[in-house]
Every structure is written in structure tokens, then in C-alpha cells.
A and B are shown apart, each in its own frame.
Chain A
Amino acid sequence: MQKKMAYSFPDEVLEHVFSFIQSVKDRNAVSTVCKSWYEIERWCRRKVFIGNCYAVSPRMVINRFPEVRSIELKGKPHFADFNLVPDGWGGYVLPWIVEMAGAYPWLEEIRLKRMVVTDESLELIAKSFKNFKVLVLFSCEGFSTDGLAAIASGCKSLRELDLRESEVDDLSGHWLTHFPETCTSLVSLNISCLGSDEVSFSALERLVGRCPNLRSLRLNRAVTLDKIANILRSAPQLVDFGTGNYAAELRPDVLSNLVGAFSSCKELKSLSGFWDVVPAYLPALYSVCSRLTSLNLSYATIQSPEIIKLVSHCPSLQHLLVLDYIEDSGLEALASSCKDLQELRVFPSDPFGAELNVSLTEQGLVAVSLGCPKLQSVLYFCRRMTNAALVTIAQNCPNFTRFRLCIIEPKTADYLTLEPLDVGFGAIVEHCKDLKRLSLSGLLTDRVFEYIGTYAKKLEMLSVAFAGDSDLGLHHVLSGCESLRKLEIRDCPFGDKALLANAAKLETMRSLWMSSCTVSFGACKLLGQKMPRLNVEVIDEADPPDSRPESCPVDKLYVYRSVSGPRFDMPPFVWTMDEERKILH
């Protein structure tokens, strides 16, 4: 019933009010207040975020939001990063571009994550959107430098081109020359993922030189150290810079040139790159270090003493990515120098080695937790851990929002007590009341999941591997974690009972991934049949799941909610369990 009250706001006023509401979550909330707010909101919605490209169809989005200027889409499940999702699974962006080309001629921004992007898609983008400004391809694949050339030449007001961590087919190094001389609008350019020969350096230099608003520039490995100085001098306004190769024979003139170039960049706050670092060139950075808030040394094979020297020059550091060469001693130095540290990521330098090659243990993380009160986000690869250390860390850092611990050897127990690490992770979820993301590792029983279900009320994403004893573990999580959106599990003894008992929970989540668990084909069929708003996908590269008895476990299961029904772009090794008991293929 729509009763126009005498004192109700005209639509334009409401629209104006809504324009101050930018966050997607808030917008969604606004739209559910009443029918008229829904209508007004949908006409003035400019930004859409779609966390799973198969949860809704392009046509549905366009029908509801006719005036979108910015879209963000995510495709493959997170475990695709670790080769668990076979090639060809899906996540194609072309259907979206095709529909949007007609419906959104004024589209300005496309941000994609883990999607398959083709040159055809890129060419269509370049052709269809006259005011196109921002293209971010995060962990995408399927396109080549030809597609990039089309973007460069076709998008006259391009501001951002960010290819972070994407896989690009190198066909020609000259795509950069396709940026016309009239292009002066670039603000951000990230080509760090490109392979050796994919950059025409002179074109790059000219491009950088004519874009006075360039704030972020991340070069690829092919760019040698001697070229950095010139680039920096032509873009002293840079805030974020990624070097290429940082290695060269030590020459005093090159070094002093570099020192001068870095010190001319008064706004520089973030550094990355540093492939093949020659430590002698690190002092060139010292002038920047005092302002540095973000430092990514995770490609740099420098040893602990050099890392310590560098890091102790950076008192304002908030984000550090580094290899485990930093060792416990380096982390202790970090803890005493960088009191503003918010995020720490320590990657393993030799993840497949059988032996310890560096002295990085739980002690390093404990030191940082003690010395850095603002620490919120941790990704830590190590080879040993104790419950005591985890409890200490939890008590030191109740403000954790992201805690991802990877003990490299699966099912590693507390090395002092030989017990499971249940109590340690339990302390993390108990003390860190705002924890949004958690990754577990080590020896873990159902008990840890009981703790998680009891305490982790704000947890949105949980990653589990080689853990648990029984379905009870999964049940604790599904029934206890109220905010859970994404759950990914591999190699755990979780099966049908917990899944079926919590079927309705799955509709409140974005997705569930289970691989190498013990969920039977029969249970998948039942789930698909009874839950029409879930897509239940079974992935099996070896045999069709119905070639075996129903009680046989499926290899991989991916369940996600969707309002657009099963998808029809599945490869031969993916089956969707349909409500009419059909197995779609």
C-alpha cells in the first residue's frame, strides 16, 4: 500500500540524501526499508559489488540498477589461487561486458577478481564505454597484450590500469605505445605481473612523463635498476612506487643518481618490487623510509641483517610484506622500530624444502604481537608453533581482524607439548572479538571448531585444511558462526551429516568449498534438490560422479547461493545438482 503522506519527502530529496550513502552494505539496507525507497535507491545506485558472478545474472543487475557507473565482480573461489580449481571451471566476464555494453554506455569502472578475461572482452570495453576510467584486473587470466593495446588506445580518459597478479599472454612488448600522446589522465598504472619482454620502456617513460597526476606506478621485473632514477625524476609526485629489478653491479654514480631520484619524491609512502635485490643499493631508499607506510619486500631475497637495517629506518611503517629471511631477530627489530605496524605478512622462502633454512619460529610472531599494539592483520608461514605462543599473541593483540597462520607441514602439533593447537586458536577467537578472517593449520581436533563456533561471532571467512575429527567440527562452525560468509575446507573428515543439518545456513553465506572431504554424491544431490536457491556444483576431473555409487565421496564441492539458478557455462568436469533431480552439465 502506497499512501502518500502530506509530510513525505519528494523523491529528489531522498535521492540527494542517498547520494551520501556510498557503502554497498548501507545501500542494500536502504533499499529494503520500503517499496518507494527501493525504487528511488535503485535509480540512483552508481556502484554495484557482486561477490560471486554466478549469484546473479547480468540482466537482473541491469534491470534493477539502470544507472550504474562502477561494477566490481568476483569469479573463481579463493582456492583457485592454489590450483585447486581446474582450468576451465568458469568465471567468464564476457557475458557481463556484452550486456553492459548495451545497458551502461556511461560505465566508468570495472574491477574484476579471479575472472577469465579475454582480449575480446577488453576490446569490447574499449569500444563501448566512452567515459571509461578504471580497469582493475586482480588475479585474472585469459588475455594478452593485444587486449591491453585495445584498452590503451580506446579509453581516452583512462585513469587506472591495474593488472595486479594477473596472468598475461605476452604477444608483443609494444602495447604501451598504443597510449596516444593525448593521454595525460593516468593516475595509477600497475604492470608488475608482466613477464620479461612485455614493456617498451621508452613508451613507458614518455607516458609517465606526460601524466602529471600519476600517483601509483608499479613496474615489472624487466625494468632494470638504472632506469628507475629517470622514471622517478619525471614523476616526483608518486605516492606508491614498485621498482623492477633492483640488481646491478655496484657503481657509485648509479647509486648517487638513485639516491637523488628517491629524495626528490617527497610524497612517496609505499614501495614494492625489489626483485633480485643487491643490498648495496638499499641505502638509496633511506630518504623515503621515514615517511614509508607500506613496504613489500616479499620478492627480495635479502637476509636478515639487511632487512633489519632497512626496517629500522621506517618508524611509520604500517604494512610490511617480507620473506622469512627476516627471521626471528628481524621481527624483534621490527617490533621495536615500527610501533604503527598494522599488517604483517611473512612468506616462506623455501616452502617445499624438507629442512629449515631460516631461523623463523613462533617467537618472531610473539615479538611483533608484543611490540606492535596496532597489529590487526597477520599472514604468517612458519614451521613450528605452540599453544602458549598463540595464547600470548591473542592476549597481546585483541584487535586482530585477520589472522592467517600457515604451519607448513600439515597436522603439526604443538612442538613442546605435542598436543593439538586447539587451545591456541581458541584463544585467538576468544580474545579477538572483531576477527573477520581466520586460516587454521597444524594439528587440530573438533575442539577447535567448538571454540570457533562459540566465540567467532564476527568471523566472515574461514579456511580449514587437514583438520578436525568428524562432522561435529563442521557442525560447530555452521551452527555457531553467525557472520560467516565464506567457508573453504580441504582434506578434512567432514561429510554429509553436518552439511545437511545446516543446509539453510548455506543460503546465508556467499559460498562453501569442500575438497577431499567425505561428502557423498547422494548428499550433494539431496542438497541441490531441496535447496533451490543454492547451486550445488560437483567438480570431478576423473569420472562423472554418477558413475560410482551414491555413497562415494565427491572430489570437490562448491556450493553458493544464487538468484539466477544453475549456470550453463560449465565445463565437462562440473555438474550442478538440480532441484528436479536432474544433473545438469
Chain B
Amino acid sequence: MPNMEFQLGLALPTPNIIMGFDLNNHGLDHLKDIGGFSGKSKRSFEQAFGKFKQECKTKTLLLWSGQPNEEEDQKDQKKTTFSTIDENDAEEVDQVVGWPPIKTWRKKMFQQQHRVCRIENNRVAGKDNGRSIYVKVKMEGVAITRKVDLRLYHSYQTLTNSLITVFAKDKKCADDDYTRYILTYQDKEGDWLIAGDIPWQNFIRSVQRLKIVRNWS
């Protein structure tokens, strides 16, 4: 080969050779078919693909909002574990490894900042009236009712993050992997409403109890 001594220059195969080099039949025979992807070979390739559908083996994402979930591959169960967030803990909640694609040091920063936020909100709450707001939280399918102090949170998503953590410990993961849930609450007038419509501050002033229900729609 003419480029042997140019050890750092990997010679580019010509486009023709690339096109014809198909290892699907252990390849080298097809070097005869050099000529690029003419209409003929393209058709045969598509023929091979026509009925070839592969199952999408993506991870389950346990979601609170209404996105469809995929079949979970049993082998990959370990990848969709919950890490618990303790209020004081440094663990991250990774629903899927490496997604969204954010560098590790940035993720750590977000967690620190959210914790600071929570701590600050506690301090602020302390200045306001100092009293916790404990409400009962019931989850459909779980026998035990919990109680949470709404003063610890400053937004719907920090509340739902924590509820995921709390209830993940209580129910078996394997059961309800593809079920979607909605957070609902009972207001001062006794009506049951979907959480999230009104600003957070108004919400914590009117909520009496919380219920996490399955969303069948």
C-alpha cells in the first residue's frame, strides 16, 4: 500500500469502496459490487429492511406529567432506580442515566442551589408566621397516608419531586411502571382540584389535603 510509511495518515477509502463494503454477509465478496449505492443496491438494501423492525428498548421514565411511557426492559431495571432525595442529602434524582445531557459539575451546582433555596424558604417562612403547614397526602394504591409540611417547598415541582421520593419507598416499583399520576388537592370549599393551576403561594394557603391519583386518560 502506497501510504504504509505515512503512519499518521489513514488513507481514506474511496467513496465507492465504502458504499460496496457490506459486512452483513461477512463482507468481502461484495467488494465486487463497487459502484456506489446505485438504485439497484439501494432497493435490495431496503428490501432487507422492509420487514425489519426492531423494538425500541428505551428506558422507562416514571413521569408525573402526561407523557407516554415505554415498555421497560427487565434487564435494565437497575438503570431506572430512584435515588432518594433527602432534604439534607447530596444524592441526585436520575431517572435515566446521563439524561438530560448536563455535565456532572453543573448537576451538582443545581442541587446545591435548590437545597439553598429550600433552606432560604424555610428561613423566610420562619419570618412570616413560623408555622408549618402539614397536610395529609394519600396515594392511590398505597395503604399508608403520609403527611408533608408544605412550608418546606417553594414550588409545585419541588413538592412533586419530594412526593416521588417519599412514595417510591412505599410502593413496589415493578407494579405501576407505566402508570401516570396526577396530583390533586382539596381546597377550603371541599372541592377536589388538579394541583398546578394557581400560583404556589395561593395554593399553600388553600390546600387542605393532597391526593395522588392514577390518570387513565
Contact = CB atoms under 8 A, between A and B. Distances in A.
Given A490-B98, A500-B22, A31 B6 contact: yes
Given A81-B103, A82-B101, A381-B100, A533 B10 contact: yes
A503 B23 contact: yes
Interface stretch (B59-67, B139-147, B168-176, B186-194): B59-67
Chain B facing A: main interface SS: loop
A406 B101 contact: yes
A349 B100 CA distance: 12
B10 A471 contact: no
A351 B8 contact: no
A561 interface: yes
A526 B54 contact: no
A466 interface: yes
A503 B21 contact: yes
B70 to A, nearest CB: 8
Interface string A37-75: 010000000000000000010001100100000000000
B113 A38 contact: no
Interface stretch (B43-51, B129-137, B209-217): B43-51
A516 interface: yes
Contacts of B64: 354-355
A526 B26 contact: yes
A501 B24 contact: yes
Given A28-B9, A354-B64, A355-B156, A497 B93 contact: no
Nearest to B65: A354
A469 interface: yes
Nearest to A499: B23
Nearest to B15: A482
B23 A530 contact: yes
A508 B65 contact: no
Contact of B6 (A38, A84, A503): A38
Given A475-B45, A500-B23, A503-B27, A83 B95 contact: no
B126 interface: no
Nearest to A531: B23
Given A351-B110, A409-B67, A493-B54, A526 B23 contact: yes
A573 to B, nearest CB: 14
B21 A504 contact: yes
B76 A516 contact: yes
A465 interface: yes
B22 A84 contact: no
Interface string B52-85: 1111111101011101100000001000000000
A508 B102 contact: no
Contact of A349 (B65, B92, B110): B110
A355 B157 contact: yes
Nearest to A35: B5
B161 A352 contact: yes
A501 to B, nearest CB: 4
A465 to B, nearest CB: 7
B139 to A, nearest CB: 15
A348 interface: yes
B160 interface: yes
Given A381-B102, A493-B55, A561-B10, 12 more contacts: A32-B9, A56-B7, A351-B100, A352-B93, A355-B196, A409-B61, A469-B54, A470-B53, A490-B98, A497-B48, A503-B23, A530-B23
16 contacts: A64-B8, A82-B97, A348-B100, A348-B102, A354-B161, A409-B63, A410-B61, A465-B101, A469-B53, A491-B57, A493-B54, A497-B52, A507-B10, A508-B10, A508-B12, A516-B57
Closest 3 CB pairs of A and B: A82-B98, A353-B157, A500-B23
Interface of A: 28, 31-32, 38, 56, 60-61, 64, 79, 81-84, 139, 165, 167, 193, 276, 298-299, 301, 347-357, 381, 406, 408-412, 439, 463, 465-466, 469-472, 475, 479, 482, 490-497, 500-505, 507-508, 516, 518, 526-527, 530, 533, 553, 561, 563
